[in-house]
């Protein structure tokens, strides 16, 4: 079945540091790929998405590119802020079913 | 628009008790989903409803039942709660179904003693 594997955390960074969270997937067909973010005490919200190979999703300074050849969708941000502290989930949808990675906890220190 | 709402926000049950988690959306979603979130495991799909009048099992359906009452509401029932069902439960909706963005509710934190 479909699955998502993402970098284990926790990740602790200083403000203005570069952030990368690795995500790889296994799926049949042509899934859509997502990054969701969960701030403390809240539900998940969509950060960015890509629906086909070579698409780049971007939002709030975060970017991720759908790489079919490496089955990857790595999340990057060039300069993180304290407000980016959250849990980040890589996910894919395939025929109504959303499969999540385990989540990566990111803490940004001032 | 309230988006996706869930009630209750917190609940403590004793083993063997039953309860229903409620979810409603005002975003005209065709598809709705129930997930559970456990530490280190991400979110796992319990049940989903691709459209009004249909429901299907997800990855971890055992011990749960669902009802798609109408287009807006999708409830999750625990008939006989077990400690293994201690988790945070999220409801989500998806407008067109299939491979699109899902919108999540704020979650219900359930503890089964």
Residue B97's contacts (CB-CB under 8 Å, 6 or more residues apart) are: A96, B30, B31, B50, B51
Dihedral, CA atoms, A59, B103, A103, A34, nearest 10 degrees? -50
Best residue of B9, B43, B47, B61 to probe chain A, by most A CBs closer than 10 Å: B43
pLDDT-based confidence at residue B92 (cuts at 50, 70, 90): very high
Give the residue from chain A lying closest to B99, CA to CA: A93
pLDDT-based confidence at residue A97 (cuts at 50, 70, 90): confident
The reported pLDDT for the residue numbered A73 is 97
B58-78 pLDDT tens trace: 989 999 999 998 999 999 999
Per-residue pLDDT at A84 exceeds 60: yes
Tokens describing residue A106: 């990111």
Nearest alpha-carbon partner for B101 in A24, A102, A93: A93
* Nearest-CA distance B51 → chain A (Å): 11
B8-58 pLDDT tens trace: 999 999 999 999 999 999 988 889 999 999 987 788 999 999 888 899 999
CA atoms within 13 A on the CB side of A83: 2
Best residue of A96, A97, A101, A105 to probe chain B, by most B CBs closer than 10 Å: A96
Give the residue from chain B lying closest to A4, CA to CA: B42
């Amino acid at each position: 079945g479909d699955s998502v594997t993402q970098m284990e955390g926790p990740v602790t960074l200083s403000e203005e540091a570069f952030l990368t969270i690795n995500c790889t997937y296994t799926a049949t067909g042509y899934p859509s790929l997502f990054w969701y973010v969960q701030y403390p005490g809240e539900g998940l919200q969509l950060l960015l998405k890509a629906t086909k190979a070579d698409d780049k999703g971007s939002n709030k300074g975060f970017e991720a590119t759908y790489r079919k050849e490496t089955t990857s969708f790595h999340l990057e941000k060039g300069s993180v802020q304290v407000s980016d502290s959250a849990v980040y989930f890589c996910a894919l949808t395939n025929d109504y079913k959303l499969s999540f990675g385990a989540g990566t906890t990111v803490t940004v220190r001032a | 628009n309230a988006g996706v709402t869930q009630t209750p926000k917190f609940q403590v049950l004793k083993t063997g008790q039953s309860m229903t988690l409620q979810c409603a959306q005002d975003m005209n979603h065709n598809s709705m989903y129930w997930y559970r979130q456990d530490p280190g495991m991400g979110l796992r799909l319990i049940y989903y409803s691709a459209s009004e009048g249909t429901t299907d099992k997800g990855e971890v359906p055992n011990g749960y039942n669902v009802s798609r009452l109408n287009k807006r509401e999708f409830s999750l029932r625990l008939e006989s709660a077990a400690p293994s069902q201690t988790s945070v439960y999220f409801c989500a909706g998806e407008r067109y179904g299939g491979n699109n963005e899902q919108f999540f509710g704020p979650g219900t934190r359930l503890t089964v003693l």
